[in-house]
Amino acid sequence: MAVPKQRKTSSRRDNRRMHIFLETPSLVSCSHCKKKIRPHTVCYNCGYYKKEEIVNVMEKLDKKERKKREKEISLREKEEKGQDSLTMENLSK
């Protein structure tokens, strides 16, 4: 069996392994719901891609989840429009 003539140092070993590591995925915000998603993919939360609805996500949800999701979307739209004012009633909720 062949035997190496010289021992590989830890420095050489580590330089070889320098590019073997996990990277954090690059994320962008969805154009419709502003959740973080992978670039060039349909949003799993709202089903939109480039401001167009591709998948009807609400259709696949049951009644309870659909109501919750619609409530989240309506709250988000109110925040974007600036209609949600700082009144005592809104602050107490």
- pLDDT computed for residue 91 by the predictor: 67
Most confident of 16-25, 67-76, 81-90: 16-25
- Does the pLDDT at position 84 exceed 70? no
Give bridge partners of residue 9 from the DSSP assignment.
Answer: none
pLDDT at 83: 55
Give the tokens for residue 50: 């480039």
What 8-state DSSP symbol labels residue 61? Answer: S
pTM given for the model: 0.49
Look at residue 27 and tell me whether its pLDDT is greater than 90: yes
